[in-house]
Amino acid sequence: MVVPTQVLRALCAGGGSLELEELRRRLPGRPTAKQLAAVLRDPQRFTLVRTPDEAEAGGAAAAAAEKVLVVATSSLRLCPEHGAGCQGGCGRLHLCKYHLKGVCRNQQARKECKFVHDFYSPHNHSVLRQHGLDSTFSSDELRQLLLQNDPTLLPEVCLHYNKGDGPYGSCNFKKICTKLHVCQYFLWGQCRFGSSCKRSHDFSKPECCEKLEKQGMSPDIIQKLPSIYRNMYAIQNSKGSKHDKEDNKSLPNKERKHSSSQESTSTSNEVEQICLYNLYTNCIFE
């Protein structure tokens, strides 16, 4: 029997998401595709993203070569009023967000932090149970789950940086901008320009790293950010939210095509009503 918490733990331990077949391999007893599909029907815990297998991306085999990525999903959130008078009826975790991100300066300086650092304090343990998360989850697994599901925890990406020409796009703040100067399509997992993209794909560059460290991000978390952002956007898209749209008129032709392809993808996802995978006879939900 496949237990949902086992599946969720495997995903969190695997970086927040795993391809369907890899997930099956990592689960105890290696469940059948049908057994696993029955568990993955729960959208409160799992988000399924279908992507083409790059090795088979062209030709008639493209549809059959499509892969399913399973993303760990949860409504678990941090309480924004923790430390400011919340009495505990919020149904959210009372936890230091800097400890969650990896580096609490108070802890580093051996000072007392007014925020809780324990995922399993009495209040937090009760909240975890409400969300169907038992005590078998490690702090690292819960950290992964929170970072990719609570959008308030990740720094904003500068949309102006992603518009216009020049090294800073149309961002007037340039180096002193408090938002991340990173290619938004890279974070969505949809940048088709790869290493030739004129927008940064590198979180480790000094300008970016400094902003992240100010927010308490540890080097280990910074390294994981590309996949964390992709998981977060996959979850948001599955719930019908939209990416911020660019004004195509302000973009160069090359970027305009890039933006148009993103918008058409979002639109097709929103209006889809018939399961194409059933038509291909390979829908895992039957």
Structural domain count of the chain: 2
pLDDT of residue 268: 38
Residue 14 lies in a domain: yes
**Terminus-to-terminus CA distance in the chain, angstroms?**
19
Residue 109 lies in a domain: no
Q: What Å distances lie between residue 262 and 173, 201, 251, 255, CA to CA?
A: 26, 18, 14, 11
Residue 212 lies in a domain: yes
H-helix or E-strand spanning residue 72: strand 67-72
Residues 6+ away with beta carbon under 8 Å from 8: 45, 46, 72, 74, 133, 145
pLDDT of residue 123: 95
Tokens of 254: 């090359």
* DSSP string for residues in 23-49: HHHHSTT---HHHHHHHTT-TTTEEEE
For 46-62, write each residue's pLDDT tens digit: 999 987 655 444 554 54
Residue 169 lies in a domain: yes
* DSSP string for residues in 101-118: HB--HHHHTTPPPSS---
Residue 277 lies in a domain: no
pLDDT of residue 286: 56
Q: What is the CATH number of the domain that holds 67?
A: 1.10.10
pLDDT of residue 105: 86
pLDDT of residue 253: 45
pTM (2 d.p.): 0.77
On the CB side of 220, CA atoms within 13 Å amount to 8
Residue 123 lies in a domain: no
For 149-206, write each residue's pLDDT tens digit: 998 999 999 999 999 888 899 999 998 999 999 999 999 888 988 888 999 999 988 9
Residue 203 lies in a domain: yes
Residues 6+ away with beta carbon under 8 Å from 251: 163, 164, 258, 259
Rounded Cα distance between 275 and 257, Å, is 28
Residue 261 lies in a domain: no
pLDDT of residue 240: 66
pLDDT of residue 65: 56
Torsional class of 169: left (φ above 0), alpha (ψ -120 to 50), beta (otherwise): left
**Structural domain of residue 49, as residue ranges?**
4-53+63-72
With a cut of 50, list the residues of the chain below it in pLDDT: 55-57, 60, 62-63, 242-272, 280
